[in-house]
Structure formats: C-alpha cells, structure tokens
Amino acid sequence: MAGKIINEQDYYRRVYGGWLGKNIGGTLGAPVEGSKELLNLTFYPKLPDGPLENDDLDLQLVWLHALEQYGARLTAVELGQEWVEHVFFPFDEYGYALTNLRRGLAAPVAGWFNNPFTDCMGSPIRSEIWAMVAPGAPHVAAYYAYQDAIVDHAGGEGVFGEMFFASIESAIFFETDRDRLISIGLQHIPATCRTAKAVHDLLRWHKEGKDWMEARLLILENHGNFNFTDTPQNIAFTILGWLYGTDFEDCILKAANCGYDTDCTAATLGAILGMILGPELLPERWVHPVGDRIVVSPQIKGFPAPATLDELTHRTMAVGREVLATWGAGVEIRSDASTSYNSQYTFLEVPESVTALWHAPFTANRYLLPQGTRNARLGLELTIDYGMAGPSIGRGGTKQLALTLVNHSHEAWNGNLDWQLPDSWSGSGSRPFALAPDGVLTWTETISAPDTISVTNEIALIIHRIHDNAHWSKETVTFTLLAASRWQISGPNQSVIQTVDFAGDRIDVNGALNTTVPGTYTAVSKLVNPNEQAIRLIAGTANPVKVWLNGTVLFEDDQETEFMPAYHRSPRSKMHELIMPAGTHDIRIEVIKDEKPIELFILPILAENLAKIGEFFYLTEIYFDADAPSVSFE
C-alpha cells in the first residue's frame, strides 16, 4: 500500500488552484515587469477579455506537451528539442540557449556556453508543472526542475531557483505550513548558493521585526543586481510577499510591489497560494477577470495547447499518474480515500540523487548507450567534457576533450574507439578498449582543425563492439564544435596587436591582453555575411563604445549604460539596424575602460519586425574572422 494517498478531488483542486493562481499573478505583474522602483499596485490593469499572455505559463504548456510526447523519463535532451520545435522566444537566456541548440549543442552545455543570463528567472518561473506531476515527491520534482533549468541556465542560480520552488510546490500536496514549506525548498538547494543566502537573510530580517519595505531594501542592498531578472533578489521578493502578506491579495500585491521581475514573483506566489488554498478560496474579484481561459503567446507554436485551465488540469493529472508510477514515488491517487500520509515523511531528507545534481559539471555532456537508454545504471555512460572554453575550436587550432566511458552493464564491452571528423581534421586515430562490468576508461583526445572550417562542425565518436574477433555492433555519439571568433586586439600603451580566438560572442579584451589599465581598447575583425539580410548589430557593453563598419562609423555612444547583452533589449544607443550586403565586411570596435573590467559582447541579430515566427533571432550563419579574405558573395 502506498505510504501517501492523495484524494483525486484534492489533486484536482490543488492543480487547478495552482494554475489559476499562476494566471492571476502573471496578469497582475506583467504590465509593470522590469520596474525597479517601489510600486503601488492595488489590482489588475485594465484587461482585455481574459488573462494576459505570459511566458511563465506558456513554457509549462510546452513541458506538458513534452511529457505527453516523450513520457515520464524525459531529460534535458528532449526538453531542448522542445525549445527548437515549439519555443520562439528570443529573450535573454532563452535567446542564447536557443542559439546554442540550433547550432547542435545539447544541455547542459547548450544552457551554459556563451550565456550571460544563467543567473536569471527564466527557469524558476517554470517550476509548477514538475510539482504537479510529482505531487508529494519533492525529490522527483526537483530532478525534473534541474533537467528543465539546465537547458538555458546551466551553471547558474536559475537552476537552484527552479529546484527550490518545485520542491516547495510538490510538498504542498501534503504540507501547507508556510515555514515548513520554505524549509523544504531550502533543503533541496545548496546552502552556499546565492538564492539560499538571500532567502535565509530574508527569514532573519522578518524574524527581527523588519517591516516589508525595510526587508525589500535590505534584499536590494545585500542581494540586488542591476538586471531586473536576477534570481536571488526576485525569489526573495516572492518569499517576502508570502511572509508579510495577510491574505492571497495582500501577498501577491506585496510581491509585485517590490518591483523588478513582477510577473514572475506574483505569478509564482499566486501559484503557491492557489495550490494551498484551492480555487474555491481564491477571491472572486481576482478570479472573475481571468476566468478559466488560457492565452498563449504567439511565439509558442506547433502543438495542441490546452484552451482552458480545466483542460490543463486534467492533462496535468493524467501525466502525473504516469510519473508517479514510473518513479515508484510511493504516492497513490485515489477517488475512494482521503488524502493522508505517514508522519514519517517530513520531506526534509533529500536523497543523494538530488544533491548530486548540485555538483554535476555544466561543461560536459553525458550520453547513455545504447541509444535510447534512460537509466544511467544500465549500459554504457559516455561523458565528454569541453572544459571552461566550451565547445569551440580556433581555425587551424586544437581542442582538448576529456572523455570518460563507464560500463554499467553486466557484460564486458571490448572493441575500438574511432573518430569521424570533417575533411582535413585530425585526431589520435583508433583506440582499442576493454571494459569489464563497472569498468571505467578515461582519456584526453586532442582534435586539430584546418585553417578553414565551418561555423558548426559535426564530430562523431564511434564505439565499435567486438565479440570473438568479429564486429558485433556500434554506437555513434555525435556532437558539435563551433568555430571560435577571431579578433585582433590592442589596448592602451600596446604597440603590438594580438590575434585572439574567442570561444563565443564575448570579446574578453582585458583577459586577452592580460591588463586592466584604463584607456581605449580596440577589437578589429571581419564580419562574414553569406546572405544579404537585415541585421541588428549590437555592442553589448556598459562602457562608452564606437563601432565602424567598412570604415564608416555605424554608431557611437560616449556614455556608460547598463550592461545588457540581450538580443531584444540592449540599449538603443549601442546597436544599429541595416540591410547588410552579402560579403566580408571590416568591423572595428573601440571601448573606453575606466577602473571597472570591460564586458563586451558583439551580437549579429535579425533586425526588428522581420520574421514571421518572431524577431531578434541570432543569425547563426554570420561569423567573425580577422583573417578572412575580402570576398563578395553577390
């Protein structure tokens, strides 16, 4: 008999209440998202017919579809595929991850590499679906939250933020005490992460008797970030609303009135409170304007999204039954019994399967073999670690990969390891291997590229299995190496220009020159554009900057601004849109440095309002190569 029973009607009301609360909070906060001042909201803005569209809910509809399509054993790999097929958001971490996925990278590397937004709120806002399909099983919800978050936040606070919320929301099906729920969430993330520190500090200030506005200021003083979407401050604002609010309305208003990522804070707290209270206890004045309707953003496409919260709830519950059975979670959904559980379940004992995720490398991808394997304790496990430089290689350069092959099966695997490389590339050649059960093989592979390579380069490791000196089978693991960006860099008082390969869009001029002295730094390259197209060229930096294209000043900003290397919301003074002819174009960047380090991203983005499926997508076929010959493609 299951140790935990959820009455079917209780399951429905908590799930429906959560989705309803999510809709309410997101609709409240969306119009003032990004406002950093203390706000004075008292109710919704004037609404159209129903709720406002919001990525907080949109993305969870995609994950529901992923669960329905791939089943309960889905991983970050399938969730990444869902991004490519169904999510056309270019915003912040979404845009960077989607760029990496389109180039052939996989999570977690796709969620970490070249991504300056891994500490942001894009993943904590997606936690509810994992809690609702794993009711009363916080460790399962936290596992799914991790798989989700590493698609676009690997290595960052966004991962811990989603695990924190998912574990709280899963526990709500059996535990509704606020303080115990917050403790459960904190147990599922490392105490040393910035998110945990922000929540712990807030709990202390609340206990010391600070009022909510004092607590808000302390959060900003101790954990604030210029980027309004930064995770620790916003999760603290969410919990602030819960601690200081007197009822549902007061809670979500206090969270939203803290400002910053208001749709996220109000929506998540609305969901938590909606799950605790159930729809029948949510205030009618907040419920009536949004009703049962779901509004989906136009950038979410290609699958049957639920039209109502009732449909969403029933589909969530159907998947939940599969998840609980697959994971053996010890939770039973029944229509003929009351919700109950053995008091031995405190949800505070977090299994190693969760804590191990805190330390999982984000610079490496893992492959379970034979293809289609879902249990890491069976078959072969291959790990390819790219190192902190990521999956990039310079033209005419080399790339070292750290590989580990583990045999989890009960049979020996013997054979040869071979590389399948693009033309004119080279590696170490064939390598024999012999792996007994539980055997481990580690080695370093050095791959060399010719002077001319593609923007994306497909590499394959082929594992040939041999029995009795005869070929038996093979497994092929395919991955991608990206061409590095090549720039010529010079700085103050430096007469020598250095040619440097950068792993991504970040031009680390200080690191390349090993100097931090103030002055003017210069980066020169050639922008290679294979097709005439409308381009938004962004210099993502806080510093004064001047950009030339083919000897003509494209734009100049002599003021320091916010550092915001986003595809869609970089400062207008640090970008320019133009119709760029096909060919090779000379580009020159000058950045003026004061005492602070230079952060500089150069981004070729699709110009505004041109794409049918969205806008501000990264133009993956464009590249920067200081040594490229001057060629016209016309």
State the binding site for Mg(2+): 261, 263
Q: What is the largest CA-CA distance in the chain?
A: 82
C-alpha distances in Å from residue 560, one per residue of 544, 557, 596: 5, 8, 11
Alpha helices, DSSP H, located in 174-261: 178-187, 194-207, 212-223, 231-244, 248-257
Dihedral sign, Cα of residue 405, residue 355, residue 126, residue 114: negative
Question: Cβ neighbours of residue 546 under 8 Å, at least 6 residues apart?
Answer: 553, 555, 556, 557, 589, 590
- Contact present, 389 and 503 (Cβ < 8 Å): yes
Q: Taking Cα atoms as reference points, which of 24, 31, 44, 67 lies closest to residue 309? A: 24
- Contact present, 570 and 497 (Cβ < 8 Å): no
Instruction: Give the C-alpha separation, 399 to 449, whole Å.
Output: 8
Type of residue at 75: T
Instruction: Give the C-alpha separation, 587 to 553, whole Å.
Output: 10
Tokens matching residue 544: 């004064």
Full DSSP string of 579-602: EEPSEEEEEEEEEEE-SSPP--EE
Element (H, E) at 320: helix 309-327
Place of tokens 């059996």: 174
Cα 414 to its chain centre, rounded Å, is 38
Task: Pick out the residues of the known binding site.
Answer: 261, 263
User: DSSP secondary-structure letter at 50?
Assistant: S
List the end-to-end C-alpha distance of the chain, in Å, as a whole number: 72
Q: Dihedral (C-alpha) 284, 288, 292, 293: value to the nearest 10 degrees?
A: -150
Instruction: Give the C-alpha separation, 269 to 258, whole Å.
Output: 13
User: DSSP secondary-structure letter at 308?
Assistant: B
Pairing, β 398-407 against β 413-420: unpaired
